[in-house]
Amino acid sequence: MSASPRPAVTPEPPYYAVIFTALRTEGDRGYGSMADRMVQLAAEQPGFLGVESARDPATGMGITVSYWADEGSIRAWRENAQHRIAQETGKKSWYADYQLRVARVERAYSGPAGR
Amino acid sequence: MSASPRPAVTPEPPYYAVIFTALRTEGDRGYGSMADRMVQLAAEQPGFLGVESARDPATGMGITVSYWADEGSIRAWRENAQHRIAQETGKKSWYADYQLRVARVERAYSGPAGR
Domain ranges of chain A: 15-105
A29-65: per-residue pLDDT in tens?
999 999 999 999 999 999 999 999 999 988 899 999 9
Q: Does domain A15-105 have CATH number 3.40.50.2300?
A: no
Q: Number of A:B CB contacts under 8 A?
A: 163
CB atoms within 10 A of CB A48: 17
Q: Is the CB of A66 inside 8 Å of chain B's CB atoms?
A: no
B30-75: per-residue pLDDT in tens?
999 999 999 999 999 999 999 999 999 888 999 999 999 999 999 9
Distance CA B103, CA B105 (A): 6
Please compute the mean of the pLDDT values over residues A96-115 and round it to a whole number: 89
A61-95: per-residue pLDDT in tens?
999 999 999 999 999 999 999 999 999 999 999 99
DSSP H or E segment with residue B31: helix B31-43
Position A2 pLDDT exceeds 60: no
A13–B21 C-beta distance less than 8 A = no
Centroid of chain to Cα B100: 10
Distance CA A79, CA A54 (A): 24
Q: Is the CB of B93 inside 8 Å of chain A's CB atoms?
A: no
Evaluate the omega torsion of the peptide bond into residue B14 and state whether it is cis, within 30 degrees of 0: yes
Of A6, A13, A102, the CB nearest to B23: A6
Chain A contact set for B66 (CB, 8 A): none
- Alpha helices (H) along chain A: 31-43, 71-78, 81-89
ipTM > 0.90, yes or no: yes
Chain B contact set for A109 (CB, 8 A): 99-101
